[in-house]
A and B are shown apart, each in its own frame.
Chain A
Amino acid sequence: MHSPANNPVYERVRRNPKFHELVRQRSRLALVLSAVVLVGYYAFMMVVAFAPGLLHKPMSDESSLSVGFPIGAAIIILSWLLTGVYSHFANGRFQDLTDEITRETLQ
């Protein structure tokens, strides 16, 4: 029993096993990457709040720069690289899969 809102095109997509594969794999990628960024960032913020001394340590004995700077820069650069990782898969394999599903549905 479907409500009138249910569209037969979308029903066809739902019956396609590729759709469920797409959703499962892409959602997993998105969740894992989000978790990496959020856990990394909030772990960093907790160090800032509770153990700031760790970030004050100089990079080496004669260095003026503290380890906090490369760590902070790494958070920005790594989370940007992860947007690249996501775009690579989402625009490559997952997009191909999406295009296939669209083709099979609309033909």
Chain B
Amino acid sequence: MTARRILLAASAATLAAVPALAAGDVGQLEKQPINLSAIGMFLAFVVMTLGITYWAASRTRSTSDFYTAGGGITGFQNGLAIAGDYMSAATLLGLSSLVFAKGYDGFVYTISFFVGWPIILFLLAERLRNLGHFTFADIASYRLDQGKIRTFAAIGSLTVVCFYLIVQMVGAGQLIKLLFGLDYNVAVIVVGVLMVVYVTFGGMIATTWVQIIKAVLLLGGGILLAFLALSRFGFSLEAIARSAIASHKDGVKIMGPGTLLADPVSAVSLSLGLLFGTAALPHIMMRFFTVPNAREARKSVFYASGFIGFFFLIVCVLGMAAITIVGTDPQFFEGGKVGGKLIGGGNMPVMHLAKALGGDLFLGFLSAVAFATILAVVSGLALAGASAIAHDLYARVIRKGEATEREEMRVSKIASLVLGVLAVVLGIAFEKQNVAFLVGLTFGVAASVNFPVLILSMYWKGLTTRGALAGGIAGLISAVTLVVLSNAVWVVVLNNPAPIFPYEQPALFSMTLAFLVTIVVSKLDSSASARAEREAFEDQFVRSQTGIGAAAAAKH
């Protein structure tokens, strides 16, 4: 389904199909003729990143190198890499197309995707850095039962990673089919193979640099495109707005909020899911362990949110400019019918804008950047998944910390290979499926399963193993159930006439339930182990505030 069609079909209930776009679901698209300049530029990117991977491989000796680049990434570099992790190809395509189709409503979405970042810095970043070694499960299980909580946290991470990988793979296949004219299966396999090569050989060092390069390319491409677009309007936002009002079918209505966010419950549930789901995405959290200390961790978020915010503002300008430049040009509509179906689907306005302003060469460049972007995101995901398998499940739970570094490294490499194969197989299996529901699940599970245990373990002394397990299971079951009963699965996949759960994002309900269950069960837990866990909070608190003990831990 295209953005346009989702939006046209939008009732209040379907509103959250939209973050699906931003997160990578681009729908079914037809194959386009082979685009040589795009493929050429993408090959240049691949050669460069493989070179970096070769260099990184010689520096990836220990598990710490592999998972966290030895903690040797600077705050500025990590800021760019976080931005590279967060700004997926579909941020560029999805958010700009939303502004193109809906005007101001798209801007409100953009803001909602952004405000989680300051909160991550204020409440999470330095505690994450001070407590964790390699994974989010390190923190969740810091003073709780290693076997149970680590296993549960690792499964939570893997669930999120797998859902998000499928979304990205299907999005990649569709996008590449459209932009490069490559076969869907070829595209998915290329992405899978490159992902495995970066992660297996270059670990976090290579992944970080892939993300940095991609962030720079994406920012550069966005700025250049915005410059070209603004130059069409005498560098006046006022002129862009005037012209957009004249060109858009909704006229002056696009200058303010429309119907998309009219329901406050949907809006709040969606924003909670985005806010706290983002904070609990394993591949984002992992980035906080790649810097040497809390000081650099804070700097990373400052730089990352600067880049992300700046990019989001540019994306909105692009969407507004496209209303006039793309929206009134018959060459971009099927059959040359202005106002009909956009060639390539509803996510393409920014790509058409690139062609209109910079010709085929610039379109090729932006296509290559979109491909690079997907690679960077899936590499981060694969690494987070591999660390959950090798570090949490294998080394800590199965071998109880007795595994040698060599053994753990070998398992992590096998794990990333398996994840790559799985991603390709699932990507191909889901080709014809609408994967929008997986986006709701990804953020819903992250916000309802990972986030409560993460925040309570750091902030609430009373948290116990039983409470964390019960709350996590409640969050998982409720998030999955509500997504199944929502429009994205109940109507779109199962073909029922109306959704039972009227909102797309379950976070408001499932996250609240998870918190409640965790707190109540923890309070009722009077076991001896619970008492020890509560007492251990004091030491954990000192370390989370000062980082004493963390620097040494990061070396292992």
Contacts and interface: CB of A to CB of B under 8 A. Distances in A.
Partners in one complex: yes
A56 B535 contact: no
Contact of A45 (B126, B253, B271, B547): B271
B228 interface: no
Contact of B545 (A3, A23, A82): A23
Q: How large is the interface on B (under 10, 10 to 19, 20 to 34, 35 or more residues)?
A: 35 or more
Interface string B106-126: 011011101101110111001
A79 B115 contact: yes
A6 B539 CA distance: 6
Interface string B236-256: 011001100100000011011
A7 to B, nearest CB: 5
Contacts of B543: 10
A72 B107 contact: yes
Q: Is the interface of A mostly helix, strand, loop or mixed?
A: helix
B504 to A, nearest CB: 16
Given A7-B539, A84-B302, A13 B546 contact: yes
Interface stretch (B212-220, B305-313, B443-451, B480-488): B305-313
B228 to A, nearest CB: 21
Nearest to A76: B309
Nearest to B258: A52
Contacts of A65: 237-238, 241, 255
A14 interface: yes
B267 interface: yes
Contacts of B241: 64-65, 69
Interface stretch (B48-56, B154-162, B293-301, B338-346): B293-301
Contacts of B117: 79-80, 83
Interface in B445-495: none
B143 interface: yes
B126 A90 contact: yes
B542 A49 contact: no
A5 B257 CA distance: 54
Given A22-B545, A65-B255, A80 B126 contact: no
B265 to A, nearest CB: 9
Contacts of B497: none
A63 B238 contact: yes
Interface in B117-146: 117-119, 121-123, 126, 143
Given A34-B123, A64-B241, A83-B118, A14 B542 contact: yes
B496 to A, nearest CB: 27
A98 B547 contact: yes
B267 A30 contact: no
Contacts of B546: 13, 19, 22, 98, 101-102
Given A55-B104, A66-B104, A84-B302, A49 B263 contact: yes
B538 interface: yes
Nearest to A58: B255
A98 B531 CA distance: 29
8 A-B pairs closest in CB distance = A56-B256, A66-B255, A52-B257, A64-B242, A49-B264, A64-B241, A10-B542, A30-B122
7 contacts: A19-B546, A37-B122, A49-B257, A52-B256, A55-B256, A83-B117, A98-B547
